Amino acid sequence: MPIKKKWSKYSKENLKKLGKTTGGYEVADKNKKHLGTGKSESPNVGVASRIKTKKKKHPAIQHFRVEEESFFESGGDIERRHAAAYRKKHNGKNPPIDKRLPS
């Protein structure tokens, strides 16, 4: 099950709006095809910084969406849930840019 929020265009302004948000995220290409998942559980880093780093490694990233951590679910829990849903939908394959299973 993907993150319920709509895709946001990758831009400095949109990343700035995230501030130090922690949680899980998904990234996508220009056609909004899911490319990968990730997390940030540290308010010192935040998901915006993680998305920027992933974009440097994978320039095809053009969109992102974020699900914030809650009292009941950490960023790692969110990442694992979304990665498992992707693998279930795609015959056990990881998203294209994710080489590892979420820890």
Number of structural domains the chain divides into: 1
In a domain, 102, yes or no: no
In a domain, 36, yes or no: yes
Domain of residue 19 covers: 8-89
Half-sphere exposure of 31 (CA within 13 A, CB side): 1
Q: With a threshold of 0.75, does the pTM exceed it?
A: yes
In a domain, 38, yes or no: yes
In a domain, 78, yes or no: yes
Identify the pLDDT of residue 43: 87
d(CA 13, CA 71): 28
Q: What is the pLDDT along the chain (103 residues), one digit of tens a residue?
A: 456 679 999 999 999 999 999 999 999 999 999 999 999 999 889 999 999 999 999 999 999 999 999 999 999 999 999 999 999 999 999 999 987 777 6
